[in-house]
Amino acid sequence: MRKLREFLRLHFEHELSTRAIARSLKISPSTAQSYLGRVRVAGLTWPLPAEMESDEALTRALFAEDAPVTNKRAPDWATVHLELKKKHVTKQLLWEEYKSANSDGYQYSAFCRHYSMWAGKLNLSMRQEHRVGEKLFIDFSGDGIDVIDPKTGEVTKAVLFVATLGASSYTYVEPVLRQDLPTWTQCHLNAMRFFGGVTEIWVPDNLKAAVTKPDRYEPELNPTYRDLAEHFHVAIIPARVRKPKDKAKVEVAVQVAERWIIAALRKHQFFALDEVRAAVRPLVDRLNAKVMRRVKKSRRQLFEELDAPALKPLPTREWEYADWAKKTVGFDYHVDFLGHFYSAPCSLVHAATEVRATATTVELLVKGMRVASHVRDDTPGKYTTDPAHMPKEHRDVAEWDAPRIIAWAKKVGPACATMVEGIMGRRKHPQQGFKACMGVMRLRETYDDARIEAACARAAKANAFSCTSVKAILKNGLDTQALEVAQNIALPLHENIRGAKYYAN
C-alpha cells in the first residue's frame, strides 16, 4: 500500500511517466499501467480526500471486485473460458480474435493475466482445463437415501452413482443399493445411454469394482471393468489414492447432488428402490437445467454446445457382462470354475489361463488368445470336455459308447458280446466298464477271434466278468480246454467244506 500512495504522489505531483514511476518503485511497467488505469476509473485526485486516508478505503476504491482495471474493453471471460475447452483452441488464437475486433484492447500478456484473475475466482473443478468430450469423472456419494423394507422395517441406504462430464459438468445420477461389480458396470451402461455417446477417458475412484490393485503409476484394473472399457474403446485413468483433486469435477458434482437431491428428499419415505429412482429423475433434470452463476449457462446448455458434438458414438453391439478369474490348467487338462470343470487342450497342462464367463459361455484364454469355449454349466463336480482337447489314447476310449462296444463284440462272437455286456452291467455306471471292455478289444492285437471267443465263454461260465480273467485264460491256454472237462471235475470232500446243507437252515 505504501508503494501505491507513492505511485499517486509521483504521478500527480511530479507528473512522471509510468515507466519512470516503475523504475523508481521497482515495479513492472505493466503493473504501473494497471495502477494508473484503476486511478482513472476510480476518479481519484491529489491530495487524496479525507475519506481515502485509510488503507482499507483506498483498497476498496481501487480494487473493488469486478472493477475494470483500465478503460479498455475487456472480453467476455466466461466465453473465453468455454472456448478454451474446445479442441485445438488456444489463448493465442482467442487473443488474436479479440484484438482484431478491439485494436486498442489488451496486449497478449495482459489478456492472459486478466483471464487468470477471472478464472481464479472459479471453484477448483471449473478452473481445471477439461477438453470437450475428453473425460468422464465417476464416483459414488458418501451419503444416501433411506429405503425402508415394508415387511421388516429394515432401513437400507441407497447411495448415488454420479458421473459428470469434464467440459460441461453435465451430470448423470442413479441411486443404487450396492456398489458391487455388476451394479458398477450397469451404471456405466446406463450413463452412456444418458449421454448418448462416449468420452475418451474415464476417471473413477479406486473402489474394488474398478481397481483391484491401486498403484501410483500402474494400477491393476478389475478385468471385468477393463473388458467394459475395451468394448467402448475408452482409456481408464483412476484417480491417485488420497488425491481428490484428480477428480475434483466429480467431487463437486457429488456435493451438488447431495445438496440438490439427497437433501431435497430428506422428508420423504421410500419403500422400494424404484420409488427412489422415480423421485431422483426430475431432480437430476432440474440440476442440469440450473444456470451456473459464473458461466451464465446451464449444464444442459453447455453439454449441447460443447460435449455432445465431441462424444464418440455408442457401439452398435451390446456389451455382455462377464466374470473373470485366473486359473491353472490341472493335470487332467481341466480348469475348475465355481466347482465345475471345463477342458483345455491337453498340451496346456499346468499353464496359467484366464477364465471369462458370461451367462451362457465359459471361455479360456492364454496370453489374451482364446484356447477353449464351452457352454456354461454350473453343476458342481461335473466335467465339460471337448474331445478335441483330449490325448489320443483318451479320445479313443471316449469315442466309444455301450451300443458301439457291444456291436463290436458281436463281430467276435456271442460269448464276447456276453462278456462285455456283463462287464458293463456289473458296474454302477456302464461308462466305468468301458476301459475293461477296451482291454478285451485290444486282445485282438495278440490273439485271433476264435481264441478270444472261447476265453470269453469260459470266463462267463465261471461268472468271471473281467478283462483280467479273459487275459489270464488266454495266457495260460485254458481257452483250448473243453468246458465239459472243467464242469465234470468234482470238488474233493473236506471237513472244512460246509456244503449246501449248511445254508439250508
Over 80: is that where the pLDDT of 247 sits?
Answer: no
Q: Where are the alpha helices (DSSP H) in 216-357?
A: 223-232, 248-257, 273-289, 299-302, 308-310
Q: What pLDDT does 68 receive?
A: 47
Three-state DSSP state, 161: strand
52 Ramachandran zone, left/alpha/beta (phi>0; psi -120 to 50): alpha
Q: State pTM to two decimals.
A: 0.57
Work out the pLDDT band at 230, boundaries 50, 70, 90. very high
Nearest Cα residue to 400 out of 420, 384, 382, 380: 420
Q: In whole angstroms, give the CA distance from residue 63 to residue 57.
A: 10
- Number of helical (H) and strand (E) elements in the chain, helices listed first: 22, 14
- Per-residue pLDDT band for 207 (boundaries 50, 70, 90) equals confident
Looking from the CA of 504 toward its CB, the CA atoms found within 13 Å total 4
pLDDT at residue 505 tops 70: no
Q: How far apart are CA 443 and CA 456, in angstroms?
A: 11
**Lowest mean pLDDT segment, chosen from 154-163, 445-454, 493-502:** 493-502
Q: Is the pLDDT assigned to residue 55 strictly greater than 50?
A: yes
Average pLDDT, the chain: 83
Q: Which pLDDT does position 45 carry in this prediction?
A: 76
SS (H, E, C) 435-447: HHHHHHHHHHHCC
pLDDT tens digits along 73-102 = 788 877 887 777 776 678 888 888 888 888
How far, in Å, CA of 147 to CA of 150, rounded?
Answer: 9
CB 32 within 8 A of CB 19: yes
The residue ranges of every structural domain in the chain are 2-62, 77-121, 135-310, 323-395, 400-488
How much of the chain, in percent, has pLDDT values that exceed 90?
A: 36
pLDDT one-digit tens code per residue, 318-354: 999 999 999 999 877 889 999 999 999 988 988 999 9
47: cis peptide before it, omega within 30°?
yes
At 377-413, the pLDDT tens digits run 998 888 888 888 887 766 655 566 778 888 888 989 9
Q: How far apart are CA 27 and CA 19, in angstroms?
A: 9
Length of the chain: 505
**Higher pLDDT residue, 34 or 195?**
195
361-366/323-328 β-pairing: unpaired
Kindly tell me if the per-residue pLDDT of 466 is higher than 70.
yes
Q: What is the 3-state secondary structure (H, E, C) of 170-209?
A: CEEEEEECCCCHHHHHHHHHHHHHHHCCECCEEECCCCCC
Q: b vs e for 384-411, b when ≥16 Cβ sit within 10 Å of the residue's Cβ?
A: bbeeebbeeeeeeeeebebeebbebbee
Q: What is the tens place of the pLDDT at every residue in 155-180?
A: 999 999 999 998 888 999 999 999 99
- At the topology level, CATH places domain 135-310 in Nucleotidyltransferase; domain 5 (3.30.420)
> Dihedrals φ, ψ of 383, to 5°?
-120, 135
Q: Are 410 and 395 contacting, i.e. CB atoms less than 8 angstroms apart?
A: no
Which pLDDT band, with edges at 50, 70 and 90, does 429 fall under? low
